[in-house]
Amino acid sequence: MQPASIAPKDRLIVALDLPGVTEAEALIARLGDSVSFYKIGYQLAYAGGLPLAQQLAKSGKKVFIDLKLHDIGNTVARGVESVAKLGATFLTVHAYPQTMKAAVEARQGSSLKILAVTVLTSYDDGDLYAAGYRLNVSDLVEARAQQAQVLGVDGLVSSAEEAAALRRIVGHQMRLVTPGIRPAGAATGDQKRIMTPTRAIAAGADYLVVGRPITEAADPRLAADAIQSEIKQAIT
Ligand SMILES: O=C(O)c1cc(=O)[nH]c(=O)n1[C@@H]1O[C@H](COP(=O)(O)O)[C@@H](O)[C@H]1O
């Protein structure tokens, strides 16, 4: 069961992984009312994307600032306070206890929600091992979800492959945001833990983050509309 409070159209978050504001504005214009939620990550944020975030929020779109913060607590807290002034809906931090605690405390009094990135969707068990972890992906995702829940984090970022297990752990109190979404037949790219929109929604994802399958499509609006139809069908 999905929480009724999320409008179906808001469940698709388009990643504006583009070189600059001009390119982002052109894509947003092309997508029109097909898309209501945009994500601004490293590439665009470091190329003038933060004023665009503010502008988008003012124009009625929802904005996800994906900076995946991770630093000493004080630095994270001050960064969160700055992001909270942009009018964004979501901000990502890495799911480390000190970082999550600082972010949750610093977002008090604002409408910003903190999402904890559990294990990146480009990682598999071998990548975690190479990074020094001795837990597999599902065990680390679940351990981090439990810590995030205890610390009062608003939502989790994980692959949709873990969504069903995460729902069992955190119930419907936390938002589940799933990148690594690939419509059937789409190129995987560097993603390792992927799912189709239909299966992701069925597994319990609240929001689907989609970048290249839309930004690199010959007709981005057609690609976004197709994903929106899949989402609508999957939730009814
Ligand atoms: O935090 C994220 O949004 C994120 C977390 C994660 O584990 N994997 C992941 O792909 N993302 C982001 O989701 C988007 C996925 O883009 P595509 O692979 O092009 O659909 C990118 O902007 C990533 O930065």
pLDDT in tens, 94-123: 999 999 999 999 999 999 999 999 999 999
Q: Which residue has the tokens 């933060």?
A: 50
Residue nearest to atom 5 of ligand 1 (CA): 120
pLDDT in tens, 35-65: 999 999 999 999 999 999 999 999 999 999 9
Q: pTM higher than 0.90 for the full model?
A: yes
Q: Which residues contact 121 (CB under 8 A, 6 or more apart)?
A: 158, 159, 178, 179, 180, 191, 192, 193, 194
CATH code for 8-235?
Answer: 3.20.20.70
pLDDT in tens, 156-214: 999 999 999 999 999 999 999 999 999 999 999 999 999 999 999 999 999 999 999 99
User: How many residues does this entry show for the chain?
Assistant: 236
Residue nearest to atom 13 of ligand 1 (CA): 179
Binding site membership of 120 for ligand 1 (Cβ less than 6 Å):
yes
What's the DSSP call for residue 8? G
Residue nearest to atom 7 of ligand 1 (CA): 120
Annotated binding site for substrate: 17, 39, 66-75, 121, 182, 191, 211-212
Cβ atoms of 95 and 151 within 8 Å: the answer is no
* Residue 232, φ and ψ in degrees, nearest 5: -60, -45
Amino acid symbol at 26 = A
Q: Which residues are catalytic?
A: 66, 68, 71
